[in-house]
Amino acid sequence: MSIFISFDFYGAGNVGDDLMLAGFLSAYGGKKPLSCLISRNVASQRIRFPQVTWREDTNHRTEIIQESECLLGIGDTPFQMSSGEWLLKKLLADAQVAAGKKIPCLMIGVGAESEVRTRPDLMKKILGQIDRIWTRDEFTSEILVKDCGFPAERLSTGGDLANIVLSTLFASDAPTPAKDIDLGLCYYDERINRGDIVVLRNFVREYSRDNSIQFFANETREEKDFEPQTYRKITGGFRRLIGKQKMTFFAPDYQKGTLPDLVNHYAGYRTVLSSRYHALLTAAWAGCRVVGHGRSSKLSALTHELGIPLVENPITVSKLNEAVDKACVVDRGKLEEMSRRAGKAVAELQATMDEGLQ
């Protein structure tokens, strides 16, 4: 019997997912085997995380959960509605399967968005099946306890698990590379519209007259409105300039890359503007000047925790220019404290499993 990692988005193409899982695994010293069921890029996960048994038989998810010793959610923002209610409903379905077999449910390093407050009925059903939660920040803890009624004695505030591995990937004693790109831009918004595209197009056209820009992807999938497609829309009218003057694209090799391969490019940016949670966090660890775009409440919470500027919707060229001017480097001590909290949470989780999963 193994501990079943219940989140199935690993391998989809989001670098942040890999960073969180890497952070957890680097701190986890448990002897019980870990398994996970995913439907995409199994090979990439086996390359980066051989400690986990990766399975592809998605038609047998219920049976696999029922045969597990524990249901464990690792990282990300499971309690959110930015992309609809499908994730909340999926969480409930898995938790109900586990409850039917009296299988304990734990979550660690997880986040929440304030929008879930509008569905107290659904949240109550989900949280009623979860035995213990370690959140990634006070913002999430407050939502789950004060707004959703999760028992405070069964919740602890930790840190985002990505901090654990980022502290190693961007060690304080590592050589400082030359930062030769003025602005790294990682932009994604579930509700992006034509007006936003025009604003971003005008911003980068103006900014690149005197500065270099690299559009980079945190989510590497070539579908929907993820970063690669968004960048094509932004630069559509002047795509011929990309690579010839001061604008370039970069997407890491998600299929075959090592963990350092996924994040090494951050070391070359002087400033990073992003609406991606883990792009901001990685840029902070890389010593970049950082500014966030508040596409959702979790981004606003992170920028507040890091003490960096935030561009609120609706975006304008003047807002973006002002925010980039005010971007700042995050204090290393603050980041190390976030990493320490995340590591402490993993140790507490491990102790809980060792005591209760005999």
Rounded CA gap, 141 and 112, in Å?
8
Phi and psi (nearest 5°) for 5? -75, 110
Reported as a pLDDT band with limits 50, 70 and 90, residue 355 is: confident
pLDDT of residue 232 exceeding 60: yes
CB neighbours (10 Å) of residue 211? 16
Strand partners, 108: 74, 134
| DSSP secondary structure letter of residue 13 | S
Copy the structure tokens of residue 318.
């003047």
The pLDDT value given to residue 32: 86
* 3-59 pLDDT tens trace: 999 999 999 999 999 999 999 999 998 888 999 999 888 999 999 999 999 998 778
User: Cis peptide before 314, with omega less than 30 degrees from 0?
Assistant: yes
Tell whether the torsion through CA atoms of 22, 24, 30 and 31 is positive or negative. Answer: negative
| DSSP secondary structure letter of residue 201 | H
Question: Can you tell me the mean pLDDT for 281-291?
Answer: 98
pLDDT of residue 89 exceeding 70: yes
257 contacts 264 by C-beta, under 8 angstroms: no
The proportion of the chain whose per-residue pLDDT surpasses 90, expressed as a percent, equals 82
Domains belonging to the chain, first-starting first, are: 3-167+338-356 (3.40.50.2000), 171-331 (3.40.50.2000)
The candidate with the shortest Cα–Cα distance to 9, out of 48, 47, 43, 37, is 37
Copy the structure tokens of residue 193.
């519209």
First CA to last CA distance, the chain: 11
DSSP string, 44-69: HHHHH-TTEEEE--GGGHHHHHHT-S
pLDDT of residue 74 exceeding 80: yes
pLDDT of residue 358 exceeding 80: no
Reported as a pLDDT band with limits 50, 70 and 90, residue 241 is: low
The pLDDT value given to residue 243: 58
pLDDT of residue 1 exceeding 70: no
Average pLDDT over the chain reads 93
The predicted model scores a pTM of: 0.96
* 114-167 pLDDT tens trace: 999 999 999 999 999 999 999 999 999 999 999 999 999 999 999 999 999 999
329 contacts 288 by C-beta, under 8 angstroms: yes
Question: Can you tell me the mean pLDDT for 243-262?
Answer: 88
Rounded CA gap, 25 and 28, in Å?
5
The pLDDT value given to residue 29: 86
The pLDDT value given to residue 17: 97
Q: Which residues of 42-62 are buried (b: 16+ CB within 10 A; e: fewer)?
A: bebbeebbeebebeeeeeebe
Rounded CA gap, 200 and 235, in Å?
9
The pLDDT value given to residue 240: 60
Copy the structure tokens of residue 298.
């979790």
Rounded CA gap, 286 and 291, in Å?
14
Q: How far is CA 84 from the centre of its chain?
A: 17
Helices within the chain (DSSP H only): 15-27, 42-48, 61-66, 86-100, 120-127, 138-142, 162-169, 194-207, 227-234, 259-263, 277-285, 297-306, 317-326, 332-356
Question: Can you tell me the mean pLDDT for 203-228?
Answer: 91
Question: Can you tell me the mean pLDDT for 90-102?
Answer: 94
Contacts of 328 (CB under 8 A, 6+ apart): 289, 290, 291, 307, 308, 309
Copy the structure tokens of residue 27.
């701190």
